[in-house]
Amino acid sequence: MDKSGGCLCGAVRFEAVNVPDTFGICHCEMCRRWTGSALLEVSIKTEDLTWQGQEHIATRAGSDWAERAWCRQCGTNLYFRQTKEGEWFGSTDLPIGLFDDPDGFTLTHEIFVDHKPDSFAYAGDGHKQLTRADVLALNPDLEGSQ
């Protein structure tokens, strides 16, 4: 499916093609601090995203293997992107709340579930849950960065 979205103030917009109908949740400490909760994200191939207002996008390397971006005008968190080869390299994770129409997605996985606050619970059965150790097994270069 194709979807569009943007930041709170509208300075940054995106168009995405081939958007999957699934989303995941990350409970790592960095994502919790970045979002104030957990990162509910849709992972899209970076090449399937087109951005408008790129001059308003600021990025910061949160580690030697990934970066996060936000709007310079309003501070809206825009994306998480792995910058080093690994399991999720080549994709951009967009917070589900950025989409103009956030409907039509199904939760399929949660990662860093061993870091999830005990008050967080997501409805639905059958989605994959990975611990920190599981994530590091898929991405060995991440060790020491959380």
pLDDT in tens, 8-65: 999 999 999 999 999 999 999 999 999 999 999 999 999 999 999 999 999 998 788 8
**Do residues 53 and 13 lie in contact, with contact meaning Cβ atoms separated by under 8 Å?**
yes
Total number of domains constituting the chain = 1
- We report the CATH number of the domain holding residue 113 as 2.170.150.70
- Residue 146: what pLDDT? 46
Give bridge partners of residue 95 from the DSSP assignment.
41
Count of other CB atoms within 10 angstroms of residue 48: 15
Average pLDDT over residues 96-115: 95
- Is 70 exceeded by the pLDDT of residue 124? no
- Residue span of the structural domain in which 11 resides: 3-142
Per-residue pLDDT tens digits for 56-92: 999 998 788 889 999 999 999 999 998 878 777 789 9
Question: φ and ψ at 118, to 5 degrees?
Answer: -65, -15
Q: Rounded to an integer, what distance in angstroms lies between the CA atom of residue 44 and that of residue 135?
A: 19
**Do residues 77 and 35 lie in contact, with contact meaning Cβ atoms separated by under 8 Å?**
yes
